[in-house]
Each structure stands twice: as structure tokens, then as C-alpha cells.
Structure 1
């Protein structure tokens, strides 16, 4: 019995030590840290997981929320997103908007875009409760940093990465939010947001065009400014406040540019990438089995190693270290006349 009691005490001390370590990490300038199962370079970037669509609910006009259940799911921090592999094989990225402490489920929401590229339509028309889906991640390129105060601007479905941030900040932090949309019925999680604001002046809800300049006119020194929403809104915020942190789910720039050559070293082929085409299109014309998915510089499926040449990186995924010797060939291009890829 004494030996058993000693083991229990030691185990309890270890648990307390781990909790203390997590608290120190969360309060350090480096928080949030990359997930342990997410390598900082190379592929695959994250392991694939199978999840069950446990609930599907319309939370605003044209907006569907999915609760995806799994076992011992990787933890995430506010601002993280998930790669969702749809039944057709399309991969789309959605911000996590549930509880980061819940390791049994993930929550995402998507707005139907009738004239989009098909991902949102597939979610709305084909994804149903009881289905199994594959997810990858989570990944976080929109982390909640430590700051003296916070200013958020969200448009429509762009509220999804902001909602967990506001929950994490709670009442003790100084923050304010401009939340705009076509009308109240089209704005998901509006009741949750207004409850977090508790009826004060923290939350400004605008139906229709918002006065971004007025809202950002008195941003305090040392404040962290975040924005997610339609491209026009993000452009307006970035013009007014260039140091804003943005979350994009559409490519920053098109794949167009000057024509250049790409040598595929292992395949012993040299290709020409036209000014109005992409490296991926040129490569697949010769190597049709080359893997790709999102074609927007988000998922990392088409990442390739660069042996020679300077890359014009246009993706929204790779770290600075990864960009030293690799590129996403769906959107990035050459800065000069030639690139050499390890293909």
C-alpha cells in the first residue's frame, strides 16, 4: 500500500506539472504554439482524420453549421482552421468556431456561394448527418496574439474565426468588434456575439455598408487588429490599417504573370508556363498524376521542392522556412525566367 500511495502521489504531481507547463506556454510571447502533430516543414503537413457529421444546422440565411465528432481529436487554438475533404474529393478550408477544449468534436460553418467553385454547394446539398468525412489539421495562420487590446472587424461568415477569440478573451480583456452583414438574418452567431458584448459598446452591428474608417479612427497604441470577411471589407481595413491581421480563404493574387520555363529535373523535361496559366497546369499536361486539390494555395497538396530559381510565392500556407526550398505550384510562379523542380 505505501508503494501504491507513492505512485499515486507521483502521478498526481506529474499531472500538476503538465498543467503548469501549459499555463506557462499560454502566457508566453510564443503562444499559440504549432500543434505537435503538425510538422513545420515537408509533407504531409498534417495527418488525416475520419470524423462523423453528428449535427447539421442552418444558423443563418444560407449558412450551415456542422458538428464533426471523432475520438481524441487534436487540440486547436482560436483562429485555427480545418481542411475538410468533401465526398467528391474537393478540399476546402473552414475556420473552427466551437470550443478548443472539446477533443471529441470540431465545429465549422459555411455560407452557400451559388456562383463559387462548388465546395460550399456540395456542403449544403450533399453533406448530411451520419456521413463520415475526412479532415486534416487543424492549422493556424491567424493566431490570437498577446496584446494590450484588440480590435476586430468581421463580415458575414468571417465571424467564424473571431468567435473563439472573443470567448477566449472573455470579460477581462479590452476588445471591440465591428460585425457587418447584409441583414441580421444573414449574420451567423449574432446572438452569441451580442451576449459576449453584454449589451455594452463593445459590439457594433451594422446591416449594409460599414464605416470602417470611423471604426478604426481611434485604434489604441499596442492594439492587435484582426479582420475576416469579404475581399472588399478586408481591402478597406488593410488600406486604413496596414498592420491588420487578415484571414483569407480566397487567393490573394491570380496565377497570371510573365511566361517562364520549368525544368522537371527527375523527369528530364522542360516546360513552358504561359503568362495566363499556372505551373500546376503545365506540369499536369506532362505528368497527369501530379497531386493537387484546392488550386488556391491553401491546402498544400501540390507542394513541390525547388532546386533552382527564385519563387514568387502567392500561397497562404507555407512558412518562411518552407518557402526557402519549396512552393505550391497551383498559384506561385517564377520571379525570373526559370525554375527547377524536384519532379
Structure 2
């Protein structure tokens, strides 16, 4: 199936887990492939529609037209109608059926010394069919708009996806020009039926981002089974158990700037602690003063780490610096410290 990767988003969206067998031969006769639910009398229904399945065990989705004079479209419509009467909502896979999902979010510092956020998703197959595909932040109709991965800053990219052996991963843009994305994993071979997460097995999948991207711990995952029993895939809620914010205490040391008369050079340091994340991110949140000030009174980038900033001096002026610490789950703690900039 050379186009498996390109059609994967649509397969996940519609719950299509059927695989065409190697014996399918559409070079002669009139035939088509059709996916269907767990219908015990499918062959009886097919015959009533002028169809037959020549290879029911090796290619269960292949139907061949056998009734002379019966148009193909008519036979397809008859089979679809007959099958629809047999498939009920009972064949929809229940939410989180047989699947356990745990999420770990924390920062790490790479060998290059750069800090990044690491999101790990461990899938345990408790009592479900073989798991063959996963889609994080899918555009499935079963997922609410609040759970979508809207990535306006382009924080997630395919090169930042870590896949276990025998799996492939990718970041999918749902629509061209749309900030909505999905992270997809699938077994590396669509024909090797031994690949996947079997009952009793666990597997961990990882997404890295250059900074905290909270939607990765408040979304949903669609789990694709290797099963003909279900007409839809279960949707598993992604939710971190970490709800504790980091603690941050800020200290500012300052002196007149040697190269900028009338300004203070301020060096800022922080004491940080978090229950899970060893390296929370720190950002300058805002700068206030006991006097009216504007952006011309300070040289600092709001929203950056801002470990060194410059403040303009003035008579009786006192600045208050507000910093915020984020863990990878998006929990935030705040601190403030004063700087006496009296001239």
C-alpha cells in the first residue's frame, strides 16, 4: 500500500482499519473493496446483492460482481444498505476501552546544553486488540474544539517526534493555512500483522517542544485497533496528573551601569523548585513602578528569561519586577522583587 502514509489521517478519522489482502486482483472482472462491521452473515448479504467474496479468509474486504447485468453502483448501494441494517452502535469501541494512558511532562537539558520540554505518552494495552495507530490531538468528530492542538507558534514539528522501534511518527497539518495540528504514530509496516502494542504490553511515545506547550497535556488521543469488530476508534483523554505549580523566589542585584549613565544594570537570579519538573522555565512577566513609566524606562523583553535588564533611574523611583515559573504541564508560580532606582 504505497499511499498508506498519505491517506492515514482520513483512515483515522473514519475508523478504517481494514487491510487489503495480497490476493486482491482487480485486473480482471468487476470488483471493489469495502470495509464492514462484525457481520456474521456478510456472505449471505453479498449474494443477495449479486456479489461474492472469493477469498474470505485472506482478503475479507474484496467483493466481486457475479450477477450478469447488475450494475456495479447498484450492487454497492444494495450491499451498503444491507450492511447498515446489520451494524449497530454496539460495535463502536467505547472510550478508553482496554487502554491505559499515562502522561509525563517535564523539562530536560540536552547534551547541547539547551533546555526543552519533553512530553511522554505511555500506552498500556490492558485488554484490547492490537494497537496499530495513535493520533494525538486528532480532528476526530469525537474530540471537542477545546482539545485541539492549535499551534500558532509552530512549536511541534516532525523532527521533534520520538518513535519506538518499528513505529513511524509525524506531525500533520489538518488543513493548509490552519494552525491546527495532530501528532501521528503508526507501525512502520502496514502489512506486518505482528507489529503493534499487544495485550499486556506498554510503549512510550515522546514529543519535544522548545518551550512549554500546554495543549499537549490537555487534548485527546485516538487509538487505532487491528480489529474488524469496531466501526470506530476509541478516544482517550490526555490529562496530566501534575497540578502543582513550581515555587520561585527572585533576587535582584544591581548597580549603576558603567556604559549607560542614568541607568541601573540589574542581574536577576531565582531559586526554583517543582514536584516533578527538574528545570521549570522562567519568564519576566511585567515591570511596575511607584511612578508612571513606559517602555522607554526599561531595557528588557517581557516574556523572556531576562536574567540581565536595565532600568532608568529617577528621583524616588522604585521598580517591582514580576517573574513567572512554568513547569512543562503549564502550571505557573510567580515571584516579585523590588529595585530601588532613586537617582
- Is the TM value for this pair above 0.5? no
Considering Cα pairs closer than 8 Å and 6+ residues apart, tell me whether 1 or 2 has the greater RCO: 2
- Greater C-alpha Rg: 2
Length-normalised TM-score, structure 1: 0.24
